[in-house]
Amino acid sequence: MNVPRETAADLLSINAVFLRPQEPFTWASGIKSPIYCDNRLILSAPEVRTRIENRLAELIQIEFPTAQVLMGTATAGIAHAALAAERLHLPMGYVRSGAKSHGRGNQIEGRLEPGARVVVVEDLISTGGSSLEAVESLREAGAEVLGIAALFTYRMSKADERMGAAGVKAVALSNLDELVEVAVESGYLAADQGPSVLQFRDDPAGWEGRFA
C-alpha cells in the first residue's frame, strides 16, 4: 500500500481538501493559499476515519516504537490522538494553545509523568509554529518528546527549518506533493494548476504576490 497516495485519495473523496488556485484562501496566519485542508471532516466519515486512524497508529508504532503517551494539539489533534491511542493501548492527553485562566490553569490536560516519552499528534503541519509550541510546553513539563505525527503536511521549508532547529522529528501520513498528483489524476485539479499549488509550497510570499 502506498500510504501517502491512499491517504490523499481518502481526503479528496470526502472533500476534506479544498483547492482554489485562482481564488486563494487566507489562513489564520494571514498567508494566502491555494489549498485549505480541513481534517476535522475525517471524523464525520466512518470508513475513511477507520482507515486513516489505523494508518496513524501504525505510523506512530513504526516511527516512535518507544512512545508512552500521545498528546493531541488543541483542538484538531485531540480526536486523532484519542483514536490512535485507543488502537495502541496508550494513555493520551492534549495541549492547549495557552494555559486556562480558571481552575487549575492547565495548559496540558491528562496525566503526564516527568520523563514520559511523548508523541505529539497533529491534524496537519503548515509552518510548524503551533506544533512546536506544543512540543515546547511538553518539554517544559519534563516530557521527552519523541516527535510529531501528523495526518498531513504541506512540506513547507519554513516548517522543516523550524523542526530542525528545535531537534524535532516530524512524520505525516500524506503531503502536498502526493495530494496534487492524485488531485490531477482524479480530476479534482486541472493539470496546469498543479505547478501553481506546488509553487505556493516552495515560495508562499512569491505566490501570494500575484494577488496583491
- Of the candidates 162, 22, 137, the one whose C-alpha atom is nearest the C-alpha of residue 72 is 137
Question: How far, in whole angstroms, is CA 23 from its chain's centroid?
Answer: 23
**How many residues does the structure list for the chain?**
212
The response to whether 203 counts as a known ligand-binding position is no
Question: How far, in whole angstroms, is CA 140 from its chain's centroid?
Answer: 22
Query: Distance between CA atoms of 143 and 146, rounded to whole angstroms?
Result: 9
The response to whether 122 counts as a known ligand-binding position is yes
The response to whether 123 counts as a known ligand-binding position is yes
The response to whether 29 counts as a known ligand-binding position is no
The response to whether 128 counts as a known ligand-binding position is yes
Q: Are 169 and 146 in contact (CB under 8 A)?
A: yes
Q: Are 136 and 120 in contact (CB under 8 A)?
A: no
The response to whether 160 counts as a known ligand-binding position is no
Peptide bond between residue 75 and the one before it cis (omega within 30 degrees of 0): yes
The response to whether 130 counts as a known ligand-binding position is yes
The response to whether 187 counts as a known ligand-binding position is no
Q: Are 19 and 188 in contact (CB under 8 A)?
A: yes
The response to whether 96 counts as a known ligand-binding position is yes
The response to whether 35 counts as a known ligand-binding position is no
Alpha helix ranges (H) inside 106-175: 129-140, 157-166
The response to whether 108 counts as a known ligand-binding position is no
The response to whether 93 counts as a known ligand-binding position is no
Q: Are 211 and 203 in contact (CB under 8 A)?
A: no
Q: Are 134 and 150 in contact (CB under 8 A)?
A: no
Binding residues for orotate: 126
Binding residues for 5-phospho-alpha-D-ribose 1-diphosphate: 96, 100, 102, 122-130
Please state the residue numbers annotated as binding site. Answer: 96, 100, 102, 122-130
